[in-house]
Chain A
Amino acid sequence: MQASQHAAPAGHHEDASHGHGPTGLMRWITTTNHKDIGTMYLWFSFAMFLVGGAMSLVIRAELMSPGLQYVAPEFYNQMLTLHALIMVFGAIMPAFVGFANWMIPMMIGAPDMAFARMNNWSFWLLPPAAILLTTSLFVPGGAAGTGWTLYPPLSIQMGIGMDMAIFAVHILGMSSIMGSINIVTTILNMRTPGMTLMKMPLFCWTWLVTAFLLIASMPILAGAVTMLLTDRHFGTSFFNAAGGGDPVLFQHIFWFFGHPEVYIIALPAFGVVSHVIPAFSRKHLFGYTSMVYAIAAIGLISFFVWAHHMYVTGIPLTGQLYFMYATMLIAIPTGVKVFNWVTTMWRGSLSFETPMLFALGFLVLFTIGGLTGLVLAMTAVDIQLQDTYYVVAHFHYVMVAGALFSAYAGLYYWLPKWTGHMYNESLGKLHFWLSMIFFNIAFFPQHFLGLAGMPRRIPDYAQQFADFNLISSLGSFGFGFSQLLVLVVVFKAMKGGAKAEARPWDGARGLEWTVPSPAPHHTFEEPPPFDPAEAHG
């Protein structure tokens, strides 16, 4: 509906206010502008982050001391399920899609995403899915209480809340697939002349691989939950042994999606960090080519390691050995990436603004999460640690300290470009330090709990686990409330503050810094000349 206006004559692109077209709410509902849509993705994901975060605080409140205090066990199960589903599908994934929408066209010198209207549709599918997930708490029987993995036969026992979760997953999957097709098409077809694939910013590379992972894995998840639905309501027996099915089949299908999903979350995070670290080291990214190959290798291997989530399900010894070796293989490209970041900083000219702090926090904590992942890859050790708090600690180091810290690094890095104002550096640094400290207080003790044998997904525990749980709960409350600082920082930057230059960071490279801050509503209506000095590697 707005496409004709978007084909406005050249020279129009300095018109930041974009005076024609619907205003108010209708502007946001009908927009096809990648910046508007990116902004909506980011706000949506932050809102979901607060909802999912509140749920995690319910969990940590209940776990503060032994005994049942605040919630019933079945509600506890619903909280942990929705916390995970909302954080994975509602918060982290849309956050990086938001970054992709805002930044990919600006990084490659394209006027917008390839399919602008589909882009609008991809976003507006998310709120219905979020409503389905959150309101499932209020239907008879409550939300799904199965954990985000939705394993049958437990998921067959659930009430209508389970069906709502299944439909939410279907809708989210559609949204992700459309978003991915858009990103792949944009990156492959709309780069400015001269920007070859191997000169493309690394964030675009990570998203290119991520988009392929999404296109390949989301239909698998959709298939798995559809089979659940027909098992629940239409008398099929895909996962019911009594009818010739196998409950473990679901786990194979789920994790065939689920493991690539881990990298769907991690790769864009790698991309952001690969921009921030060079910028604040005032050096080129070290080993650009090997970074690209490492991303591709991680993406590929991620499809061949799924059953390392299933070491205790009774898969054969040969299967366990194969999946152990394949999983260890992932450590090599991941190691290459860490070494490249470290070497990028080596002999640089480092400064420590908030984006760099978050990137460093990412580097330290993600490495811890990666190394505990190596411990968990060893089948014999994993069998001791499977379904314990060690695993909970491991994936929160990867997901929160990995994906979330990287998203914050990106937020602070590009906020001046988005708002036209510098954010408040002291508040930003305070946010980082509070997050860093409380995150470790919340999650580091969980390694010890897991080693000592505390299972995950339990609302109550034996008394020897009480002390570390108390520390963990206190840390998580601190971490949770510190995140509200982001709102303050972002609102202040939107309202005012020091005027941001086109290139507010002296070490930053890339086409996005060649346009004014805030970025005008339309950028690069004509492909810009590609300056190799702006190239990433």
Chain B
Amino acid sequence: MARNSNNDRDVSRLRRGLAGLLMAGVLGVLSGSAGAAWQISLQEPVTALAKRVYDLHTLLTWVIGVIFFGVFAVVAYSLVFHRKSKGHKAADFHDNTTVEIAWTIVPTLILIAIAIPATSTLVQMRDTSQPDLTIKATGYQWKWGYEYVTGDAAGVKYMSVLATPRDQIENKSPKGEHYLLEVDHPLVVPVGKKVRMLLTASDVIHNWSVPAFAVKADAVPGFLRDTWFRAEKEGTYRGQCSELCGKDHGFMPVVVEVVSAEKYAAWAADQKKAMAAAADDPAKVWKLDELAARGEKVYAANCAACHQPTGQGLPPAFPALDGSKIVKGPKEGHLALVMKGKPGTAMAAFGAQLSDTDIAAVVTYERNAWNNKLGEVIQPAEVKALRGK
């Protein structure tokens, strides 16, 4: 990739002097502190496919580098030797069929040559058949939901949300090593296994991307797409949503932990146990304090991005809940809005995302937080009764 910066220098070389000096100066001074941050090529590949893509990109960069320097060597020669100021007289020619045919055919041959590896890589990339493991990822504004469809962890499902504290984003505390590329619950997969990802979205188009796997695929609401990877090295790999999906598009990373088969099996068993333990008794009657405390957590994970922790929202796109007519109105209207969402706005339907208890908790919290002191408790049974209506 050093070629690219050479391109850059060649640009300025058209006219030696000021341009070249300045450019080299700026790059030179800054590259004095070279480190990992100065990465100038694709991320290190950890799948065989990503390696092929990496090599294909390297090949292409060579090809375009050679073409660029070939063409601009001719230009540079003209610029130096065919100047009026040196007394060069213009020749009078304006057609040459042989040359024109040659520079049509030669590029065609180059294109055919690079099309061959490009085609075979692409064919391999699209072959999602015979996976060892299938996982469904659902894009939400602004988090990922994962659901293991097959394998040891079949049935396990959870949300994966940005873990970087707000303080770091607002520059109130120093930024951590994995700033914006860290989540509460990463996707966990076994090393060396072919993982097929099924992708969809619940609201707008998102894109699930992990550069080290050369994986990037749109998650389109209402449709199922797929892609795959087979990670060859244990470790944590990070990517980001790669399709503009609204306000917090920059804040929904993808984190994949690749672990050994044993660790994966142990993790799957733990997850299943934890899910069973966390399952709520649907008939339980909750007290205001404990339900509101739980609701605060649900609110922080699902609602605070738009409606803000203070309940003041970001009007007019994201209305305030503190003092809101709907929140302070009849509970049926409030519950219906939370469960069914508001079509045509960013207010998602949380009915399918959250359990009865969580919906009851968050609605209870909203009706009692800030200045909305309604003193009301919504029980999970009431949410259950509303489902399907």
Contact = CB atoms under 8 A, between A and B. Distances in A.
Contact of A384 (B53, B220, B346): B53
Given A68-B169, A156-B344, A436-B11, A347 B90 contact: yes
Interface in A443-460: 444, 447-448, 451-453, 455, 457-460
B325 interface: no
A478 to B, nearest CB: 10
A74 interface: yes
Nearest to A345: B78
A335 B99 CA distance: 13
A72 B308 CA distance: 13
Given A142-B317, A464-B39, A320 B250 contact: no
Contacts of B61: 375
B118 A380 contact: yes
Interface string B317-346: 100000000000000000000000000111
B122 A317 contact: yes
Contact of B82 (A142, A154, A285, A349): A349
A23 interface: no
B84 A349 contact: yes
Contact of A461 (B180, B248, B344): B180
B218 A159 contact: no
A468 B23 CA distance: 14
Nearest to A341: B75
B129 interface: no
A386 to B, nearest CB: 6
B285 to A, nearest CB: 36
Interface stretch (A267-275, A324-332, A415-423): A324-332
Interface stretch (B146-154, B209-217, B256-264, B269-277): B209-217
Nearest to B21: A437
Most chain B CB within 10 A, of A343, A459, A462, A465, is at A462
B371 interface: no
A491 interface: no
A384 B217 contact: no
B357 interface: no
A331 B182 CA distance: 41
B170 A381 contact: no
A342 B82 contact: no
Contacts of B284: none
A345 to B, nearest CB: 5
Nearest to B61: A375
Given A154-B204, A444-B8, A462-B180, A452 B246 contact: no
B56 A380 contact: yes
B130 interface: no
B245 A154 contact: yes
Interface in A269-312: 281-290, 312
B317 A159 contact: yes
A380 B122 contact: yes
Interface stretch (B236-244, B360-368, B381-389): B236-244
B100 interface: yes
B122 A462 contact: no
Q: Is the interface of B mostly helix, strand, loop or mixed?
A: mixed
Contacts of A383: 53, 125, 214-216
A348 B179 contact: no
Interface stretch (B30-38, B185-193, B288-296, B372-380): B30-38
Given A157-B204, A321-B119, A68 B94 contact: no
A471 interface: yes
Contacts of A351: 83-85
Interface residues of B, number: 114
B359 interface: no
B1 A451 contact: yes
Contacts of A458: 240, 249-250
A153 interface: yes
B16 interface: no
B250 A459 contact: yes
B260 to A, nearest CB: 26
A254 B214 CA distance: 27
B48 interface: no
Given A321-B119, A335-B103, A348-B90, A457 B249 contact: yes
Interface stretch (A39-47, A85-93, A176-184, A241-249): A241-249
Contacts of B242: 312, 386-388, 455
Given A350-B82, A381-B53, A364 B8 contact: no
Contacts of A364: 10-11, 14, 72, 75
A171 interface: no
Interface stretch (A26-34, A201-209, A365-373, A494-502): A365-373
Given A321-B122, A342-B71, A462-B179, A285 B94 contact: yes
Contacts of A313: 218, 220, 225
B266 interface: no
A146 interface: yes
Contacts of A146: 244
A459 B240 CA distance: 13
Interface string A378-410: 111101101110000000000000000000000
B78 to A, nearest CB: 5
A74 B247 contact: yes
Nearest to A159: B317
Contact of A69 (B12, B53, B95, B171): B171
B122 A440 contact: no
B341 to A, nearest CB: 11
B211 A371 contact: no
Contacts of B177: 463
A516 interface: no
B233 interface: no
Contact of A290 (B15, B100, B178, B345): B100
B314 interface: yes
A345 B84 CA distance: 11
A147 interface: yes
Contacts of B107: 331-332, 335
Contacts of B222: 240-242, 246-247
A320 B120 CA distance: 12
Given A351-B83, A440-B8, A537 B171 contact: no
Contact of A452 (B39, B64, B79, B243): B39
Contact of A314 (B40, B108, B214, B223): B223
Contacts of B220: 241, 247-248, 313-314
Contacts of B175: 66-67, 463
A507 B84 CA distance: 11
A147 B251 contact: no
Contacts of B205: 151, 153-154, 247
A248 B313 CA distance: 31
B4 interface: yes
Given A335-B103, A336-B103, A451 B42 contact: yes
A522 interface: no
Nearest to B177: A463
13 contacts: A67-B171, A142-B317, A157-B345, A248-B223, A284-B94, A336-B103, A339-B103, A375-B60, A378-B114, A380-B56, A383-B216, A458-B240, A461-B250
Interface of A: 66-69, 72-74, 77, 140-142, 145-147, 151-154, 156-157, 159, 232, 240-242, 246-248, 281-290, 312-314, 317, 320-321, 324-325, 328-329, 331-332, 335-336, 338-339, 342-343, 345-352, 357, 360, 363-365, 367-368, 371-372, 374-375, 378-381, 383-384, 386-388, 433, 436-437, 440-441, 444, 447-448, 451-453, 455, 457-468, 471, 507, 537
The 6 closest A-B pairs by CB, nearest first: A241-B222, A458-B250, A371-B64, A314-B225, A284-B94, A349-B90
Interface of B: 1, 4-5, 7-8, 10-12, 14-15, 18-19, 22-23, 26, 30, 36-43, 52-53, 56-57, 60-61, 64, 67-68, 71-72, 74-75, 78-79, 82-85, 88-96, 99-100, 103-104, 107-108, 111, 114-115, 118-119, 121-123, 125-126, 168-171, 175, 177-181, 203-205, 207, 209, 211, 214-218, 220-223, 225, 238-251, 314, 316-317, 344-346
